[in-house]
Structure 1
Amino acid sequence: MNDLVQRTVTGCIYVALLIAGTAIHPVVFAVIFAAMLFFTQLEFYQLVENAGSSPRKHVGLTLGLLLFGTCFGMVHGFIPQNAFLIFIPVLTILFLFETFRDNSKEIQNSSVTLTGFVYVAVPFSLLNFIVYPDYPETPEFFPWILMGVFFIVWVYDSMAYLVGSMFGKHKINEKISPNKTWEGFTAGAIFALVMGVLNAVIFQEPDIINWIIIAVIVVAFGTLGDLFESKIKRKLNVKDSGSVLPGHGGLLDRLDSLLFVIPVIYVWLTFSGNL
């Protein structure tokens, strides 16, 4: 199959899956995004394993799913609002596990296990609060803010890729990501801002100022997230984080920008009174 056709087909399926997971029903949201959390976090652990580390994958993956489930239960009122605090002592105990392993890289192994949890599981878990913006007052499922964020990310990534591929000459950082150019970045940023304005019209809330700020966050932190994952792959001398998405690589390759964007958007929405 032609690479462009393969990339397009896979991309359409991926986008359809995210839209379905966001818009159909809270249970569908939980199933799809919990699954994506699991496989994205697993990809990260497999990457660092190839570099010689031995993360406690089962512990990290279990904790990641438990955090997502805890946040899901909190917004639905199934469990207390402060239930997430249990993860503070649990993560501390995680480091103690390494003292009982016959391994000379105890601190490194604990660190990469915790990194996978913070890098992947925390952003995915925060999605629960973004789709329930009135929590804890009203348990009303409102997925449109998250949908709008996805629209901005997809427009930014797509236009940056297209313009960078056709007209890009000035590299942002060739040592980290040789294909990313300032021309692509500029085009992506412009279209992201336009999409932010359109989101204000399509979804009505939050207001246009907030959508523009969200677009700026996507451009800034999405780029940093992309460069961060590119740096990891360059250090490990791998092209993709996986092969689950033909033509695109792995889930981590597609979600790297979102992993940096979601926590910052959550903080902004909270401080601005939209959550």
Structure 2
Amino acid sequence: MRLRAITGFFFIIVMIGSNLLGPYVFSIFFLALSLLCLFEFYKLVRESGIKASRETGIINGGLLFLFFAANCYFPAWPFIFCLPVTFSAVFIQELYKKTQAPFSNIAFTFLGILFAVMPFMFFHAMAFIKGSESFNFHVPLAFLIMLWSNDTGAYLVGSKLGKTKLFERHSPKKTYEGLIGGIIISAVAALILSHFYVEYTWKQWVTMAILISCFGTMGDLVESMFKRSINVKDSGGILPGHGGLLDRFDGLLMAAPIVYAYLYFISN
């Protein structure tokens, strides 16, 4: 428990710092973080016997993130025509491998990019939701605070009052009571944030909190389903007492794209 608390403390400091140190640090940090998560994903599927193209997948994941991140600083759309060339390498590479299920390898290579990189692309884009060259750390930092508040509320309420299982087949400890507790605590955090971050109204912040709680929980369940499908408990051991990076960022899996879409439509 002590090791878990120490790891959690430094993890929060690093995450907050990545938001506060300016746009370039923010972009580089989340590029690196997304690629570490992708590496972790490929390591897991390889242990289960699926030979995903790890190096090619990481290169393509990095290029995809860089393309969308660069577009937040300057018009980078012409470079999109490079992506079909690099993505085709996943298929071509499989021609030279002697495997029984080449398309399973191809599918999991692309699934890794979808699973581990794209959520961070949407999270990164939240900082530039008002347009290119308009970096604002308020939204991504608030997202993290509301996500952490949801996790804390769900754990506290679920451990004390939880009785009705949410998805016992995928996550035996999650309950409807915990889900409701997470939503309430996250909404309270949103109300507090609305007094400091005035870009959006309190109703819009609370809406974001509800979306984060609901879809963050779904992302957690999807990641649990993935781990159970390959018979592993933790996605890795990079964070002592907390498991792997995918375990810590499973809430981003579905919540970040949904919240970005919400912000995009209310901002335009």
Q: Residue by residue, what CA displacement relative to the aligned partner does 1:23-46 show, whole Å, maximum 9, x if unpaired?
A: 211222123212211111111111
Deviation for aligned residue 1:73: 1.7
Residue of structure 2 in register with 1:267 after alignment: 261
Residues 192-231 of structure 1 mapped to structure 2, 5 A cutoff:
192-231=186-225
**For 2:239, which of 238, 245, 252 is the aligned residue?**
245
Contact 1:71-1:128 within 8 A present in 2 as well: no
Q: Is the 8 A contact 2:219 2:252 kept in 1?
A: yes
**What is the aligned counterpart of 2:38 among 19, 37, 41?**
41
Q: How does 1:119-268 map to 2 (within 5 A)?
A: 119-136=115-132, 139-268=133-262
Q: CA deviation at 1:189?
A: 1.0
Partner of 2:112: 116
Task: From 11, 20, 23, give the equivalent of 2:17.
Answer: 20
Secondary structure of 2:72 counterpart: helix
Between the aligned partners of 1:61 and 1:80, the Cα distance in structure 2 is 21
Q: Structure 2: which 5+ residue stretches go unaligned?
A: none
Distance of 1:47 and 1:192 partners within structure 2: 31
Quick check: 2:56–2:89 contact (8 Å CA) kept in 1? Answer: no
Is the Cα–Cα contact under 8 Å of residues 71 and 84 in structure 1 kept in the other structure? no
Question: Cα offset for 1:92?
Answer: 4.4
User: Comparing 194-203 with 140-149, which one deviates more in the overlay?
Assistant: 194-203
In structure 2, how many angstroms separate the alpha carbons of the residues matched to 1:160 and 1:82? 44
Distance 2:234 2:218 in 1: 17
1:57 pairs, out of 54, 57, 61, with 54
Cα distance, 1:258 vs. partner?
A: 0.9
TM-score by length of 1: 0.91
- Return 98-107 or 241-250, whichever deviates more: 98-107
Structure 1 residues 84 and 119: alpha-carbon distance in aligned structure 2, compared to 1, 3 A threshold: farther
Secondary structure of 2:177 counterpart: helix
Question: What is the identity, as a one-letter code, of the residue corresponding to 2:188?
Answer: V
Q: Which amino acid aligns with 1:107?
A: F
Q: Scaled by the length of structure 2, what TM-score is found?
A: 0.94
- Output the CA distance in 2 between the equivalents of 1:85 and 1:153: 35
Contact 1:159 1:187 in 2 (8 A): yes
Alignment: residue pair count? 268
Q: Classify the secondary structure of the residue corresponding to 1:75.
A: coil
RMSD: 1.7
Change (3 A) 1:144 1:166: same
Q: In the TM superposition, what is the alpha-carbon distance from 1:88 to its structure 2 partner?
A: 4.3
